Amino acid sequence: MEAIGYILLGVALMLALSYLKTRYFDFPAQEPKDYMTSPGQQLDIRKHLNGEITCEGVIFGPTGRVSSRFEADFNVTWEGNKGHMVETFRYDSGATQDREWFLTIGNDGRIKAEAPDVIGTGEGRQEGSALQLKYRIQLPEDSGGHVLDTVDWMYLAPNGAIVNRSQFRKYGIKVAELVATMRRKDLA
């Protein structure tokens, strides 16, 4: 086999191994059913994401370094299985951002989520002590205006706080990650 053949074989092998790692051993490999029998308190976003929420977090860029830090205030209201979440973010750069979500939760734990910067409808599920939500978000123009595939995971901590980890991908390549905590202000 010529040298080019070995190079192509090596590239194909590395791509296959990278796919297998991501699919079966990395963040995207989690499924809501993995948390179905998790011990302790069960996550119910109508309870744990309700009222005034305080949030703080960091955003990591594609190299894994912190690219931004933020604090946020959320106000979440529910009428039955329909929720409305208003978010106000304050970034370390001095920039601010207002967002809102419209949430619907089914009796089976399935979640539908809509927001002005979300393309289509986000879909997810809460199961046990965790919640997964997948959606496509369009970044603001001052952030490039890119459309990113997003996977949010929220995990209920023993004290009632929620730990949020999100990954943002473009063409399947991770371009950013967010880690944040959210707590109801009356529990803080």
Query: pLDDT tens, position by position, for the chain (188 residues)?
Result: 587 877 877 777 777 766 666 666 666 667 767 777 766 788 899 999 999 999 999 999 999 999 999 999 999 999 999 999 999 999 999 999 999 999 999 989 899 999 999 999 999 999 898 999 999 999 888 888 899 999 999 999 999 999 999 999 999 889 999 999 999 998 76
Predicted TM-score (pTM) of this structure: 0.82
Query: What are residue 44's phi and psi, to 5 degrees?
Result: -135, 110
**Measured on CA atoms in the order 103, 108, 109, 110, is the torsion positive or negative?**
negative
Domain that holds residue 101: 32-184
Please check whether residues 1 and 71 belong to one and the same domain: no
Which residues on neighbouring strands pair with residue 164, listed in sequence order?
Answer: 154, 180
Do 59 and 93 belong to one domain? yes
- 109 and 176 both lie in a single domain: yes
Question: Same domain, yes or no, for 21 and 102?
Answer: no
Q: Which residues of 8-28 are buried (b: 16+ CB within 10 A; e: fewer)?
A: eeeeeeeeeeeeeeeeeeeeb
Are 119 and 162 found together in one domain?
Answer: yes
Rounded CA-CA distance 55/183 in Å is 7
The total domain count for the chain is 2
Tell whether 126 and 176 lie within a shared domain: yes
20, 46: one domain: no
**Residue 179 tokens, joined:** 């880690």
CA atoms within 13 A on the CB side of 146: 11
